[in-house]
Chains A and B, each alone.
Chain A
Amino acid sequence: MALQELNFSFKPEKNFTSFAPEWFHSGVVGSGDMEVLMEHKKQDGKVTVKVVTPVTGFDQVWEKVLAKFVAETKIGNLHMEINDNNATPFIVHMRLKQALFEAKGDVES
């Protein structure tokens, strides 16, 4: 199946927290529903995301899910690469939050 690449950029919440670890990886795309690589990136607080997915026609839903993640977690200075294997919008949302929880020990305030 042809993969498509989507790119997004979000402004952080005003009181955002920078993603501190150099990088954090979670999930296995082959046997799971998605994987995500989170990297610290100094970019004026912005959160940038590259999504590689086999599902077409859901660009707007991706944008909403990611925007909600950024708003709820108040995270900033983060670049994410998501390799999607048919995860539902909610699963994406939950996996991102779970990944951030796991990485969080190192989050600086």
Chain B
Amino acid sequence: MEGNRKRWDTLKRDRMERIREAIPLVKMGKIVEASNAVKLLETVIKPYDKVTIEGDNQKQADFLADCLCKVDREQVHHLHMVQSAISLPSHLDVFEKKIASKVDFSYAGSQATRLAQFVKEGKIEMGAIHTYLELFGRYFIDLTPRVALTVAVSADKEGNLYTGFNTEDTPVVIEATKFKQGIVIAQVNEIVDKVPRVDIPGDWVDFVIQAPQPFYVEPLFTRDPANITDSQVLRAMMVIKGIYAEYGIQSLNHGVGFDTAAIELLLPTYGEELGLKGKICKYFSLNPHPTLIPAIESGWVESIHSFGGESGMADYVAARSDVFFIGPDDSLRSNRTYCQAAGHYGIDLFIGGTLQIDKFGNSSTATASRIAGFGGAPNMGCDPRGRRHSTEAWLKCGREDGVQRSLIGDLPRGRRLVVQLQETFREKMAPGFVDKLDAWKLAETAGLAIPPVMIYGDDLTHIVTEEGIAYLHKCSSLEERMAAIRAVAGFTEVGLEEKPEETTELRRKGIVRTPEDLGIDLSRANRSLLAAKNVRDLVEWSGGLYHPPAKFRSW
């Protein structure tokens, strides 16, 4: 019968064939010399393969990324890159050299402008821009990598990997590849007799290469308190009093930025003064932000699970195993997939800054000339519709919802708080509120299917500006939401449309509250409220355990 002759193990046979061809390159066990790395890639990667380069948010398989740019494009071409971050020049060079042709990714960071150019010039076929969880999900559906170029701190000769402080994406990348008969190649900083802890079992890894240089790590989450402005202090006071205290927010994620750093540094001062210790901010899904050290040291924080590590924080984190997730080797175990899942389902509030909010409340970090991607924010900056556990904060936000009853009747259902912090005008007088998002222009110039929106207006519950807090979820119509947005949009084109009588009515209903309504004394909104005023103060709070990277040391 025809059916009986069909082979059901073609992937496996293909995989074994590729590995067999590479055997002459292996020095010992699974170890391949760095000088043979390009040859190895030419041997095990075939045209049209889906390939992932572990370009995490922070740690980078930079050596393997460079090697991929050096392969013979007669042998290796039309690769479909499926990677979370496009953050190194080599991640795009591989398209310039016509080795790869298509990309599916999450986040572009410093390569965002060049990526937009490449797409425009037709050098890259754009698949889709994802959130991290979305891309990782598709690794197990229709974007399973054939070859994974991954990165770890150390390996033994059996291929056991130690990913240490910055585990990040490694487990999900390797699991998706290996168990669909793919090939896993790891660059490591050193090869050791015994790894400090086994983060990835050796039989999930095919080849190990000791890179000539340690992998690159970017300190993405360090914010120098010296750069926090008085206006950020004011917004932080409003958030703590008007949202965290109001709802009793216990579990949360803070975006990256000076606005949220200001909140972290106000907990031990302003938060303490309001008597909120033990009542708010106990559980975080968060990278080890140095600016959270004063709050941790003051006993505010019960638990933090992290997506990745942060440069200079290893010793501090290791010494606080009551708070962080620490392995038997005494170093942090971070994991982007788990932390994103935790941030999606486990927390009551997401708060972060953005570049633009439109008159409807949609917000975006896209500009017309950059494809920056999403990273993980949209998975936390949304109402997780599959959530089924309840907390006080979640229930209160649901009770206040202005449209919920018209959709599900009198059944109680809670709601995630999704908060955007916005300065009405940012540096160089760029307006924070606009009539139409630049994302529309980007979608047009780069030929994207939809304008890239970080947080959709119907997920957004609160906007905080210097003018006040808009409690958008309380609104019962789009018209009312737009009026509430205008009321806090200051002197921007959106804010100038504000009608004083509408704002008065919204303040009466508690949909808009100004600093005055919240009982916040403007004259106190200055940097003297910060628990640490510079990086050196953070080092002191940590008892010398935090070792800031050189670029943050001014003393």
Residues of A within 8 A of B (CB): 55, 58, 61, 64-65, 86, 88-91, 93-94, 97-98, 101-102
Contact = CB atoms under 8 A, between A and B. Distances in A.
A90 B523 contact: no
Interface stretch (B218-226, B267-275, B424-432): B424-432
A94 B522 contact: yes
B234 A94 contact: yes
Given A61-B491, A64-B491, A90 B425 contact: yes
A80 B544 CA distance: 47
A72 B91 CA distance: 54
A42 B429 CA distance: 35
B169 interface: no
Interface residues of B, number: 20
Given A91-B230, A94-B230, A58 B429 contact: yes
A102 B526 CA distance: 14
A98 B523 contact: yes
B490 interface: yes
Given A58-B429, A94-B525, A98-B523, A89 B424 contact: yes
A39 B230 CA distance: 25
B522 A90 contact: no
B496 to A, nearest CB: 7
| A interface, over-half SS | helix
Contact of A90 (B424, B428, B526): B424
A9 to B, nearest CB: 20
Interface of B: 229-231, 234, 423-426, 428-429, 465-467, 490-491, 496, 522-523, 525-526
Nearest to A88: B425
A91 B491 CA distance: 12
Contacts of A97: 522-523
A90 B231 contact: yes
Given A65-B491, A94-B230, A94-B231, A88 B522 contact: no
Nearest to A90: B466
Given A90-B231, A98-B523, 7 more contacts: A55-B429, A89-B424, A89-B491, A90-B467, A91-B230, A94-B466, A97-B523
A101 B425 CA distance: 24
8 closest cross-chain pairs (CB), A and B? A88-B425, A90-B466, A101-B523, A89-B491, A61-B491, A98-B523, A64-B491, A89-B425
A88 B426 contact: yes
Contacts of B230: 91, 94
26 contacts: A55-B429, A58-B429, A61-B491, A64-B491, A86-B428, A86-B429, A88-B231, A88-B423, A89-B424, A89-B425, A89-B490, A89-B491, A90-B231, A90-B423, A90-B465, A90-B466, A91-B229, A91-B230, A94-B231, A94-B522, A94-B525, A97-B522, A98-B522, A98-B523, A98-B526, A101-B523
A70 to B, nearest CB: 15
B464 to A, nearest CB: 13
Contacts of B234: 94
A103 to B, nearest CB: 12
A91 B522 contact: no
B353 to A, nearest CB: 15
Contacts of B425: 88-90
Nearest to A89: B491
